[in-house]
Amino acid sequence: MTDWVTISSLATAGGTLVLATATFASVRSANKAARTAERSLLAGLRPLLSNSRLDDPPMKVTFQDQHYLHLGGSRGVAEVSEEAIYLGISIRNIGSGIAVLHGWRLHTDPMEGLDAPPDPSSFRRLTRDIYVAPGDTGFWQGALRDPAEPVFGAVADAIRARGVLAVDVLYGDYEGGQRTVTRWGMWPRDDGGYLASVARHWNIDRDNPR
């Protein structure tokens, strides 16, 4: 005699399994779509800084003590006095989102730290907010104001000797995420200024591009 109770139970179990499989596949597909949408959104907010073009217009950058620098396209400036060292680089945002600059660090050896992931805690915080719109030019500026600080003398000597400098700039998107570090090399020119060019990018909050 046919056991309809058993057959019914098996049919119900089979239907439940099919439904669970379909639900799992649907949830997995939805999660994948959500991750794809999130990546697309983040890409739309992501800045990426580079050196500006040689034919970009010059900019006048002012410091809090009313000292100012003139930055030409793809140029850097380093000036030293008894009380302060003034630094600046003309930059361009080649990414798709607004760049918000957070901090910087300076190297008198352009090869220093190239093989090590940057530590955000080692950066000097900027004293004012600097934003660079996507596809537009902007600037980075920094100053050393304590002659007793060991790095002050080393940087001053490197500038007077017309040595190569390297600057790491920490920045992110306008929501505070997607932090990136870009290194510029500052190469001395015969006119007393520097040619600024990007050497490397590091991602802080996501995998590196290499």
The 10s digit of each residue's pLDDT in 109-155 is 999 998 888 999 999 999 999 999 999 999 999 999 999 999 999 99
Q: How confident is the model at residue 39 (pLDDT cuts 50, 70, 90)?
A: low
pLDDT surpasses 70 at 91: yes
Distance in angstroms between the alpha carbons of the first and the last residue of the chain: 69
Mean pLDDT of the chain: 88
Q: Is the pTM of this model over 0.75?
A: yes
Per-domain residue ranges for the chain? 1-45, 47-203
DSSP annotation of 15 reads: H
Answer yes or no: CATH 2.60.40 is held by domain 47-203.
yes
192 Ramachandran zone, left/alpha/beta (phi>0; psi -120 to 50): left
Mean predicted confidence (pLDDT) in 94-112: 96
d(CA 174, CA 191): 37
| pLDDT of 96 higher than 90 | yes
CA proximity to 86, closest of 109, 111, 61: 61
Which residue would you say has higher pLDDT here, 44 or 175? 175
Q: Which residue did the predictor score with more confidence, 3 or 54?
A: 54
Cα(47)–Cα(20) distance, integer angstroms: 42
More confident residue, 123 or 7: 123
Q: What pLDDT is stored for residue 207 in this prediction?
A: 84
pLDDT higher than 60, residue 100: yes
